[in-house]
Structure 1
C-alpha cells in the first residue's frame, strides 16, 4: 500500500529494552561498532573536559581571564567546523573523514604537552574544537545514512552511550586530579589522545556508507526496500537531466544550496537560541548557586548526576515519542515550556534559604534536562527531514552551526546579561525561549506541510513505475 509505514521508528528489532537495542541498533553491525567508537571517544573527551581548566591553570600557568579567552576564541573558531564538514562530506568518503578527525584530534592533544604559553595553546585548542565540531556533523550523517528512518532511535542510543562515556571519563579524571602532579595531568592528556586513536581504529572496521537517494517519502514514513531501489534507478537514469535542469538554487556539485534556502536558514536561526539548555546546566546553575543563593556548594555536582541519570533512563522513551518529523516539530513547544519552568525556579531560588534554594535548583536541573532530552531528538530529526536527501551533507553542515554558536555565545549571554539582571533576567530568558520555540514549531510544521504534497506526487510516480515494471516482468515471463 502506498505510504505504508514499514515498522515503527521507535521499536528496535531486538525489543524495547535498552540493552537489547544496544545489541541490535538500527544499522546493524556498523552502527554497533560506531556506538562503541562513540563510547571510547566520549570517555576521552570526558577526561579532558574535566581536567582542561585545571591543566591550563596549574600546569601551563594561565590566569582565569586567559583561560576564558582561550576557550571563547576556540569555541568561536569551532563554528566553522560544521559547514566545513558538510562541504568535505559532499566530496570525500565519510568513513575516511571520521578517521581523519580522530587522528587530527589525537595529534593536537599530544601537542598540548609541549605548549607552554597562551600563544602556542590557542591554535592547538582551536584545531581541537574545529575537528570536534566537524566530527559531530559526520556522526550525524553516519546515523542518517545507516539508520535511515529509525535515526531517532539511533540518536537516543548514541546519547545514552555518550553520556556514559562522559561519566566514565570524569571518574578517570577525578583520580588524576586527586593525585594533582604534573605527571598525573600529563597522563590524563595522553589518555585522551589514546581514546581518539582507539576510536579511529573502530571506525576503520565499519563499511563506507553512501549518500541515500533523494527518495520520495512522506515525512514520518519509512522507506520500502523496493521503493528505495526504484528511486535509486530513477536517480541514476535522470542524472543527466538533473545537471541540465539545475536551477539558481542548485550547487554545482549537485543538489540545492542551504544558503539559498530561506526556510531552512530560518530553522537554523531559530534553532540557535534553542540550544541554551547546555549552558544553563553547566554554567548558569552552578554560577547562580555560588553567587546568588544560600545553597551549599556540594549541590553543584548533583546537577550533573541528575542530568546523567535522567538521560540514561528517559532518552529512549522520549525518542519513542518524537520519532517522526511532525512529532519533532510539535515537541519543540515542550522544550520552551521546560526551559521557562527551569528559569522560574532559578529566579525564585535567590529568595529562599539553603534548603529551599537547593530544592528549587535541583528542580531546575530536572527541567533543563527534560528540555535537553526533547531538543537532542527533535533538533536532530528536523535538521535531517527538512533537508533534501541528496544535499544532506551541506544542509547538516549549516544546521550544525546552530549548536556551535549556542555553545560559544551561551555562557557569555548567561553571565554578562541574564545573571547581571538578577532574577528578572531569568524570567525574561525563559519567556524569550518559549516564544522562539513556538515560532520554530510553526515554521517547521509549515515546511513539513509544503514538503508532503511533493512527496505524495513523487510516490504516485514511483508506484506507477513499479506497476509498469511488474506488468513488463509478467509479460516477459508469459512469452517464455
Structure 2
C-alpha cells in the first residue's frame, strides 16, 4: 500500500512542480485563465470525495483505488494531445475527481485498518508521500532546466507511468479482513442513522475546514505565479518550493503528530496554523519590494512558514474529521470531510489569482488575517462538539486517551 502511494506521489510531485508552467508556456494560458481552469476543474473534483466515501461501503477499497489510478492515467495521457482551455478543462476535471477520490479512500483505509494508531499511520503515510514528492520535484527540475515543449511533455508522461505502476501494485495488495466496528461514542448514535449531510455540527466543521486548506493553494499556485509575475526571483526557484516542503514534511511530520496527538492536541494545532499562515503571507507581501536576492529569501522563508502551517493542518483536519465522526458510518463522514480540500482547490486558485494577487501585497495580508480568524472559529466549534460527545464530562477537560496528556510536553 505504501509503495503504491510512494509511486503515485512521485508522479504527482512531477506534476505539481511543472503543471503551472506547463499550462503557462506550453498551453499558452495567462494567469486568469489558468486560475479559472484549475478552479473549474476543482469544482468537478468536489464530487470525488463523497462519491468515494459512499462507494466504500459497498465496494472493496482496493478495487476503488485501482479504478482511481486508471482514471487519472487516461486523463493525464490525454494532456499530451490536447490543447486550448476548453479541451483541457474536462481532462483536468477528471484528474481532480480521481485525485480526491483516491485521497479519501486512503483516509478510509487508514481509519479502518489502524484503529487507535491511525495518527501514527497517517504521519508515516504523509512522510512516505512527501519523500516521493521530493523525488518527483527533483526529476521535474531537470525538465524545467531544459525548458522545451518536449521536456514538459516527458514530465507529463512520467506522471502517467506512476499511476500505472500504482494501479499494478494496488492490484497485488492482499485485501484486509473486515474489522469489527468500534463502539459508537456517546452522542453519535442519533447522527449515524441520518448520515453526515444531515449532521449540522459536522457540516459546520467541514465548511470551516475549507479555508483551512489555503496552504495548498499558496504553495501550489500562489508562490509560483507571484514569483513569475511580481518578483525578480529566478524561475528555477519554483521546484525548490516543493523540495523544501517535501523535506520538512518527511523530517517533521511524525514529530508534529506526536506533539499534537489526539483531538484536543488537534485543537492546539489550529492556533499554530493561524499564526504561521499570517507570518507566511506577510513575507509574501514584502517579497516584491526588493531585488532578486531579497525576493528569493522572502519566498523561501514563506515556503518554510506555510509548510509548518501545513503540518499543523494535516494533524488538525485529519484527527478532527475522524474524532467527530461516528465509527459505524465513518466512511461516509470522511467522504463528506473530503469535500473541504476539494472545494478549496476549486475556489482557491481563482481567489488567489483574481483576488489576492490582484490586490498586491495587501491581498496577502488580508488572506493571512482572514485565515487566522477562521482558525479561532473552528477551534471553538470543535471544542464544544468534542466536549458534548464525551460521556460524563460536561465541561472542557484534558484529553484522557491522548498519549500527549500523560507525558511531558516536548521542547
TM-score by length of 1: 0.73
Q: 1:106-150 CA deviation, whole Å, 9 max, x = no partner?
A: 233334444455544433332221111111100110111112111
Alignment of 1:215 with 2:183, yes or no, is yes
The alpha carbon displacement at 1:66 in A equals 5.3
Cα separation, 2, equivalents of 1:89 and 1:40: 23
CA distance in 2, matches of 1:109, 1:301: 20
Q: How far did 1:207 drift?
A: 1.8
Deviations 1:174-193 (A, max 9, x none): 44555666665555444333
User: 1:54-111 deviations in whole A, cap 9, x for unaligned?
Assistant: 555666x554365544333212210111111111112211111111211222233334
CA distance in 1, matches of 2:390, 2:356: 40
Q: State the partner residue of 1:328.
A: 266
CA distance in 2, matches of 1:81, 1:48: 19
With 299-308 and 37-46 compared, the bigger mean Cα shift is at: 299-308
Say which SS state the counterpart of residue 421 (structure 1) adopts.
coil
1:308 to 226, 246, 254: 246
Match of 2:8 in 1: 41
Structure 2 partner of 1:24: none
2:149, 2:236 → 1: CA distance?
27
Structure 1 pair 57/344, CA: closer, same or farther in 2 (3 Å)?
closer
Aligned to 2:275: 337
1: distance between equivalents of 2:393 and 2:112? 19
User: Which residue, 379, 384, 389 being the options, matches 2:327?
Assistant: 389
Question: CA deviation digits over 1:430-459, x for unaligned, max 9?
Answer: 221111101111111111111111799xxx
Comparing 172-181 with 331-340, which one deviates more in the overlay?
172-181
Tell me, yes or no, if structure 1 residue 265 matches structure 2 residue 203.
yes
Alignment match of 1:164 (pick from 123, 127, 131): 131
Q: 1:256 aligns with which of 191, 194, 219?
A: 194
Tell me the distance in 2 between the aligned counterparts of 1:156 and 1:133.
Answer: 19
Seen in structure 2, the aligned counterparts of structure 1 residues 106 and 152 have a Cα distance that, compared at 3 Å, is: same
| Equivalent residue runs for 1:431-450 within 5 Å | 431-450=369-388
> For structure 1, which segment, 265-274 or 278-287, has the greater mean C-alpha deviation from structure 2 after superposition?
278-287
Comparing 266-275 with 196-205, greater Cα deviation is found at 196-205
Contact 1:218 1:455 in 2 (8 A): no
Counterpart-to-counterpart distance in 2, 1:360 and 1:187: 31
Structure 2 residue corresponding to 1:193, chosen from 160, 164, 169: 160
Q: 1:331 to 1:351 in 2, by over 3 A?
A: same
Measured after TM superposition, the shift of residue 374 of structure 1 is 0.7
CA contact 1:147–1:154 (8 Å) conserved in 2: yes
Larger Cα Rg: Structure 1 or Structure 2? 1
Pair 153,300 (structure 1): closer, same or farther in 2 beyond 3 Å: same
Q: Which runs of no fewer than 5 residues in structure 1 stay unpaired?
A: 1-33, 220-245, 457-480
Distance 1:286 1:47 in 2: 15
State how far apart, in whole Å, the 2-side matches of 1:175 and 1:156 are: 29
CA–CA distance in structure 1, aligned partners of residues 121 and 256 of structure 2 = 13
Query: 1:343 offset after TM fit, Å?
Result: 2.0
SS in 2 for 1:206: coil
Instruction: Name the SS of the counterpart of 1:284 in structure 2.
Output: helix
* Structure 1 CA distance for aligned equivalents of residues 293 and 24 of structure 2: 33
Structure 1 residues 407 and 116: CA distance shift in structure 2, 3 A: closer
1:218-240 per-residue CA deviation (whole Å, 9 max, x = no partner) reads 99xxxxxxxxxxxxxxxxxxxxx
Matches of 1:352 and 1:109 in 2, distance apart?
Answer: 39
Contact in 1 for aligned 2:16/2:220 (Cα 8 Å):
no
Q: What's 2:317 paired with? A: 379
Name the structure 2 match of 1:139. 106
